[in-house]
Amino acid sequence: MKTRLILFLLAVLCLLGGCAAPSGTSTDEKYDDLIVVGFSQVGAESDWRNANTRSMQQALSAENGFRLIIDDAQQKKERQITAIRNFIHQGVDYIVLAPTTEDGWETVLGEAKAAGIPVIIIDRMIDRSLATEDAGADLFTCWIGSDFTRQGNTAVAWLESRFGDVPLRIVHLQGNYGSSAQVGRSASLDEGLERNPHWTLVARDSGDFTQAKGQELVEAYLAQGIKFDVIFAENDNMAYGAIDALKNAGLTPGKDVTIVSFDANRTALMMVMAGEISFDVECNPLHGPRVRAVIEQLERGEAPLKYTYVEESAFDGQGLSQELIDSRGY
Ligand code: AHR
């Protein structure tokens, strides 16, 4: 609100003093009406993340009445904390946070609250105890994102139904440790391993959700002579890297090794159609319009839902077509 007031006063001063308006904006246009949103984004580690950033840019555009300031934290929580402090200092109207990990937000979100700036969390979750009103610690306005444990359970259930009692040696490529996406998906596989004593975990490491690390890890396992039947990759980009490593070693993904992945980006769905990825659980990144709707609710003085889980599905190749893939938003 403070920023809008400043922008309004600047516009009035410009009118009186005859200074040039920002390009494409005349002084009587709605420049002073823009809602200023500071968005602390995790990084650009994956196709999913880039689709998420684009969705925010499209929904919170100047044409829609917003000025969006994006800070790319390069997967570092410390950078996100600094970005949030900068947003507070600039007096933005709203802060949107896509948190790297769940923990460590109490202090800086307390600062945003003290400054009277609503915080909307998207994608991954933060420590739920920070939303405990009884303890006076309701540090964010609302959250919109995925049920990562449900995604993991969907993938594990597919493996169980596809392979039944067949013994499986599993490689597990994890996301960055402490992120809800890693915590939820890994917990599901752990439960699957307990339920299925004929499954063996032969390797497990974090590939930080990146293609390069996914490839590096699988190359290292192959070099060590580790044998495996399944790769459980916690996102598509790590699956792409794993596929490259397998192909370079003369193995056929989908035949020699079954790949299960998460996100269901367009490129990954093409690989599902080609049989290289066997099962892909959707993780929907299109949060921009949802954030816009929440801000509009808040502007009208309405209270948004505290937690919104987005609808997601999964793909095993059946019913997939080029037309369907092209019609998807990411
Ligand atoms: O939090 C969502 C996860 O983060 C996506 O699965 C992954 O691709 C991204 O980097």
Closest atom, ligand 1, to C-alpha of 98: 1
Neighbouring CB atoms inside 10 A of 27's CB total: 16
The string over 98-131, giving b where at least 16 C-beta atoms fall within 10 Å of a residue's C-beta and e elsewhere, is: bbbbbebbeebbebbbeeebbbbbbbbbbbeebb
Closest atom, ligand 1, to C-alpha of 180: 1
Which residue lies with its CA nearest to atom 2 of ligand 1?
181
Is residue 128's pLDDT more than 60? yes
pLDDT at 176 (0 to 100): 97
pLDDT at 195 (0 to 100): 98
287 phi and psi angles, rounded to 5 deg: -85, -10
Which residue lies with its CA nearest to atom 3 of ligand 1?
181
In the reported structure, the alpha carbon of residue 106 is separated from the centroid of ligand 1 by a whole-number distance in angstroms of: 23
Q: What share of the chain is helix, strand, coil (3-state, %, to 5)?
A: 45, 20, 35
Mean pLDDT of 288-305: 97
Mean pLDDT of 196-201: 98
Give the 3-state DSSP-derived string for 260-322, with helices as H, strands as E and coil as C. EEEECCHHHHHHHHCCCCCEEEECCCCCHHHHHHHHHHHHCCCCCCCEEECCCCEECCCCCCH
Among all chains, which residue has been given the structure tokens 């929580």?
A: 77
Rounded distance, CA 257 to CA 243, Å? 9
- Return all residues near 238 (Cβ < 8 A) that are at least 6 apart: 173, 175, 207, 209, 210, 211, 213, 214, 217, 261
Chain segment 208-266, per-residue pLDDT in tens: 999 999 999 999 999 999 999 999 999 999 999 999 999 999 999 999 999 999 999 99
Q: Looking at 38-47, 120-129, 175-184, 296-305, which range is the least confident one?
A: 120-129
Ligand 1 proximal residues by C-beta, below 6 Å: 45-46, 48-49, 123-124, 181, 209, 235, 262-263, 283
In the reported structure, the alpha carbon of residue 150 is separated from the centroid of ligand 1 by a whole-number distance in angstroms of: 15
Q: Which residue would you say has higher pLDDT here, 279 or 7?
A: 279
* Tokens matching residue 296: 């509009």
Strands 142-145 and 94-97: unpaired
In the reported structure, the alpha carbon of residue 114 is separated from the centroid of ligand 1 by a whole-number distance in angstroms of: 30
Q: Looking at 127-141, 234-248, 274-288, which range is the least confident one?
A: 127-141
In degrees, rounded to 5, the angle at the alpha carbon of residue 185 between the alpha carbons of residues 182 and 188 is 140
Closest CA to 189 of 230, 228, 220: 230
Mean pLDDT of 69-74: 98
Give percent above pLDDT 70 in the chain.
88
pLDDT at 129 (0 to 100): 75
pLDDT at 327 (0 to 100): 95
Is residue 26's pLDDT more than 90? no
Mean pLDDT of 83-88: 98
Rounded distance, CA 297 to CA 159, Å? 42
Rounded distance, CA 39 to CA 70, Å? 5
Q: Looking at 18-27, 209-218, 264-273, which range is the least confident one?
A: 18-27
In the reported structure, the alpha carbon of residue 98 is separated from the centroid of ligand 1 by a whole-number distance in angstroms of: 10
Mutation choice for ligand 1 from 263, 310, 330, CB with most ligand atoms inside 8 A: 263
Closest CA to 237 of 261, 203, 258, 219: 261
pLDDT at 90 (0 to 100): 97
Mean pLDDT of 87-109: 97
DSSP designation for 59: H
Mean pLDDT of 293-300: 98
In the reported structure, the alpha carbon of residue 167 is separated from the centroid of ligand 1 by a whole-number distance in angstroms of: 29
Mutation choice for ligand 1 from 235, 282, 284, CB with most ligand atoms inside 8 A: 235
The full DSSP string for 202-269 is EEEEE-TT-HHHHHHHHHHHHHTT---SEEEESSHHHHHHHHHHHHHTT--BTTTBEEEEEE--HHHH
In the reported structure, the alpha carbon of residue 21 is separated from the centroid of ligand 1 by a whole-number distance in angstroms of: 40
Is residue 170's pLDDT more than 70? yes
* Bridge partners (DSSP) listed for residue 38: 69, 95
Is residue 8's pLDDT more than 70? no
Mean pLDDT of 192-220: 98
Closest atom, ligand 1, to C-alpha of 42: 10
Mean pLDDT of 186-202: 98
In the reported structure, the alpha carbon of residue 41 is separated from the centroid of ligand 1 by a whole-number distance in angstroms of: 12
In the reported structure, the alpha carbon of residue 295 is separated from the centroid of ligand 1 by a whole-number distance in angstroms of: 24
Is residue 134's pLDDT more than 80? no
Q: Which residue would you say has higher pLDDT here, 235 or 329?
A: 235
* Bridge partners (DSSP) listed for residue 279: 260
User: What's the chain's average pLDDT?
Assistant: 91
Is residue 130's pLDDT more than 80? no
AA letter at 301: G
Closest atom, ligand 1, to C-alpha of 237: 8
Q: Looking at 130-134, 151-155, 308-312, which range is the least confident one?
A: 130-134
pLDDT at 51 (0 to 100): 98
Closest CA to 75 of 239, 200, 282, 213: 213
Q: Looking at 44-58, 97-111, 122-136, which range is the least confident one?
A: 122-136
Closest atom, ligand 1, to C-alpha of 236: 8
pLDDT at 11 (0 to 100): 42
* Tokens matching residue 96: 């949107």
